[in-house]
A and B are shown apart, each in its own frame.
Chain A
Amino acid sequence: MIRIDAKGKNFRQLNGEIRSARDPEIEVENCLGQRYIGAGMSGKSLLLRGVPGNALGCYLDGGAIRVRGNAQDQTGDTMNAGAIVVEGSSGDATGYSMRGGKIFVRDDAGYRVGIHMKAYRDQQPLIVVGGAAGSFLGEYQAGGTIVVLGLRSGGKAPVGNLCCAGMHGGRMILRCRRLPADLPAQVAAAPATAEEIAGIGGVLDEFCACFGIPKRTVMEEPFFVLKPNTKNPYRALYTFN
């Protein structure tokens, strides 16, 4: 394990040191807004203390990033594989266009989480948010799974406005007693079946173990599964001229 002190370093210097570190186990201390940490990384494991900047783990292609603190915007932008764990909250557009790997956020996440997330064959991306997410959750979602647990939402839908806008693939799982009132017409939502709850059991186990949350607490509220009812939402939009 190698230790890097981020204090006073700009992103280019810090990321250069992380890239050139020979040891695949890296601990970075005193992160303070440095962007692009772990950009395109694979085969390394980062433990970050402090607050990393925007685009943490963008194009991540394997390996693992764990943040002891909050993350900012575009965490895991276009990530392809690997894992990002945030022991706190993450900002807007978390998991933007991610195609593989997983992002676990212990607390809340900002607007447009999982926007344009997509899946392909064995690449099935996953985002789990322990708290609540902001508006436009799963906008244009085309694949993968977004789970929002709302552990401090008291059973209310743990999302903001316009959840699932433009969703045309994948699925979303919300832990709440009542669905958001403004779901778009192209989304079909239903209480999770026993089979579906069993299906996410492994994910919940992993999330709970990751943050030391008792699984029993998580299972105290019901779950809803939201899926698009078409993968071609704009078929009737055009006429050939």
Chain B
Amino acid sequence: MVAQNVFFGILALVMGVSAIRVVTVKNVVHAALYLVLVFAGVAGIFILLAAEFLAVVQVLVYIGAILVLFLFGTMLTRAPIGRTPDLDNPAGQRGLSALVALALFGFLGAILVDAFSDSKVEPTGVVTSSDVALSIFQDYVIPFEVISILLTAALIGAVVIARRD
């Protein structure tokens, strides 16, 4: 178990720093790249937790599609490439939000620790794609269909919203 803990530690560290960097860098593209790190880190966590299909999907979708989307968006909105100072709200608001975020973290943390201390996570088996597939198409087929519709709607919606007419 030590290996897992070590890996987890590394991943957590990376993710933490990256996340903070995402929200603080003065460069849009850098933020996007730091986000990649976060996503990757999440995928690693998934693997630690024996949800390999999910990890793969995470990489594929998030890093492969969503991030690209972000980059597209950045470029289409002529986001300034390079350091730009005015990416953040005024200091007052930032201070307030830091406060809120910290308060929230402290709060959540306290509760979580209080609730789940001494709970161990021991993944019993690896969740394969067949398990997931079976689960989706047997038990959760309706949500699946709904998600499909949602995706279709989002697709069409995005096209409609963004078309140039």
| Chains A and B belong together in one complex | no
Q: Chain A residues in contact with chain B, CB under 8 A?
A: none
